[in-house]
Structure 1
Amino acid sequence: MEIAGSVALVTGSNRGIGRRFAEELLARGATKVYATARRPESVHIDGVEVLPLDITDQRSVDAVALAAPDVTLLVNNAGITAEGSLVTGPLEDAHRVMDTNHWGTLSMIRAFAPVIESNGGGAIVNVLSALSWFASPGYGGYAAAKAAAWNMTNAVRMELAGRGISVQGLHLGAADTEMMADYDGPKADPADIARASLDGVARGAAEVVADEWSAMVKASLAAEPERLYAQLG
Structure 2
Amino acid sequence: MTGQTALVTGANRGVGRELVSELVRRGARRVYATGRSLAALEPLVSDYPEKVVALHLDLQDATSIVEAASVATDVTLLINNAATLSTGSALLSDRATMVSMVMTNTFGTLDVIRAFTPVLESNGGGVVVNVMSLQAFSGSNGWDGYSASKAALQSLTQSMRPALKLLGIRISGAYPGGVDTDMIREFDTLKSSARGVAEGILDGIDAGEEDIFPDGVSRFVAELWRRDPKQVERLFADPDVLVPMLQEAHGRGDIVLA
Match of residue 59 from structure 1: 63
Q: 1:76 aligns with which of 75, 80, 85?
A: 80
Aligned partners of 2:204 and 2:214 also within 8 Å: no
Write the distance in 2 (CA, Å) between the matches of 1:228 and 1:133: 8
Asked if the contact 2:73/2:119 (under 8 Å) is kept, the reply is yes
8 Å CA contact 1:133, 1:217 repeated in 2: no
Q: Specify whether residues 16 and 90 from structure 1 end up closer, same or farther in structure 2 by C-alpha distance, changes over 3 A only.
A: same
> Secondary structure in 2 aligned to 1:220?
helix
Task: Determine which structure has the larger helix proportion and give its number.
Answer: 2
* SS of the residue 1:194 aligns to: helix
Matches within 5 A, 1:171-210: 171-210=175-214
- Residue 21 of structure 1 corresponds to which residue in structure 2? 19
More displaced, 86-95 or 211-220? 211-220
Q: Which residue of 1 aligns with 2:230?
A: 225
Larger radius of gyration: 2
Q: Secondary structure at 1:123's aligned position in 2?
A: strand
RMSD of aligned C-alpha atoms? 1.5
| Greater RCO (CA < 8 Å, at least 6 residues apart) | 1
Deviates more, 1:144-153 or 1:217-226: 217-226
- Cα distance in 2, alignment partners of residues 216 and 133 from structure 1: 14
Shift of 1:185: 2.1
Instruction: Report the counterpart of residue 101 of structure 1 in structure 2.
Output: 105
Instruction: State whether structure 2 residue 127 is matched by structure 1 residue 115.
Output: no
Answer whether contact 1:217 1:228 (CA < 8 A) is retained. no
Farther off after superposition, 177-186 or 11-20? 177-186
- Taking structure 2 as the reference length, the TM-score comes to 0.85
Q: What is the alpha-carbon distance in structure 1 between the residues aligned to residue 205 and residue 29 of structure 2?
A: 16
**Distance change (3 Å), C-alpha of 1:216 and 1:38:** same
Contact 2:38 2:55 in 1 (8 A): yes
Q: CA 1:144 to 1:67, structure 2 compared with 1: closer, same or farther past 3 Å?
A: same
Q: Kindly provide the CA deviation profile for residues 40-84 of structure 1, in whole angstroms up to 9, marking residues without a partner as x.
A: 101121221001110121111101000111111001000010011
What is the letter of the counterpart of residue 163 of structure 1?
Answer: L
Residue ranges of structure 1 left out of the alignment (5+ in a row): none
**Structure 2 counterparts to residues 148-187 of structure 1, below 5 A:** 148-187=152-191
Cα contact 1:130–1:213 (8 A) shared by 2: no
Between the two proteins, the alignment pairs up a number of residues equal to 231
What is the rounded CA distance, in whole Å, between the counterparts of 1:103 and 1:189 in structure 2?
A: 28
3-state SS, counterpart of residue 197 of structure 2 = helix
> Are the equivalent residues in 2 in contact too, given 1:82–1:141 (CA < 8 A)?
yes
Return 5+ residue gaps in structure 2 as ranges: 242-258
The correspondence of residues 31-46 of structure 1 with structure 2, limited to 5 A, is: 31-43=29-41, 44-45=43-44, 46=47
Deviation at 1:131, TM superposition (A): 0.2
